[in-house]
Amino acid sequence: MLTRYSPPPPQRRRSLLSKRIRVISIVFLLSLTFSAIFTPNPVRKAIATVVTAVAPPVEVAQLIFPLAIAPSEVRVTSEYGPRSSVKTSVGQTSSFHKGIDFACATGEPLIAVEGGTAVYLNDPDGWGNAIIIKAHGGDEFLYAHTTERIAGNGKLIAAGEAIATCGTSGNSTGPHLHFEFWPKSGDPINPRPYLEDRGLPKKS
């Protein structure tokens, strides 16, 4: 005897339809996910190509030397460290040199190695007309024995800007730049490695 087919009631039909829709939705979402993972996005790829073609190359910041002449042409007259004391018009030079001295002509521009704040220091029996650059990063740089200070006291200055001129003020034997490097610790250290990174030839 044949059994007559009877369709499921409306409530059950709606339930079965909802389950099928959920299954189809899950399958569709999974396919989109796998496509996003394994297939490159053509729009994103096109944008990246355009940006790469248009964006200019990143420029490396220029390393500034404290004198307005090529580092390869400077003449070091006194290195950092112990040395013989010399008599000057105002006294004796120190027996331990805390910086590096460079020969330079009176009036020759002295250049800020880093940007920061210019601070005047008046020391007639020592550094003479000195100027300190308090760099933004916390390091400090001393330029001593200058003739004229160009950067205003307490003014912000940029790296590469002329801040003073070479001279022989204070306890000095002749026109030169006395340059000191004071890192964040506050105690002066040998500035030669710092200056060699800026082109100063290594000691032979």
**pLDDT band for position 56 (cuts 50, 70, 90):** very low
Q: What is the pLDDT of residue 188?
A: 94
Q: Is the pLDDT of residue 74 over 60?
A: yes
pTM over 0.75: no
Helix (H) or strand (E) holding 102: strand 100-103
**Number of other residues whose CB lies within 10 A of the CB of residue 64:** 17
pLDDT digits (tens, 9 = 90+) for 87-105: 676 667 777 899 999 999 9
Q: Give the pLDDT score at 94.
A: 74
Nearest to 145 by CA among 115, 167, 122: 167
Per-residue pLDDT, 57: 42
Which residue is associated with the tokens 């006291």?
153
Which CATH number is 71-196 given? 2.70.70.10
3-state secondary structure of 99: coil
Mean pLDDT of the chain: 80
- Domain assignments of the chain as residue spans, ordered by start: 10-54, 71-196
Distance from C-alpha of 101 to C-alpha of 94, rounded to nearest angstrom: 13
Q: Among 128, 124, 126, 164, which Cα is nearest to 145's? A: 128
- What local confidence, expressed as pLDDT, does residue 202 receive? 93
Q: Which two tokens stand for residue 18?
A: 């909802």
What is the arithmetic mean of pLDDT over 139-163? 97
User: SS3 for 72?
Assistant: helix
For residue range 21-44, what is the model confidence (pLDDT) as tens digits?
565 556 555 554 545 445 555 544
Summarised one tens digit per residue, pLDDT across range 153-162 is 999 999 999 9
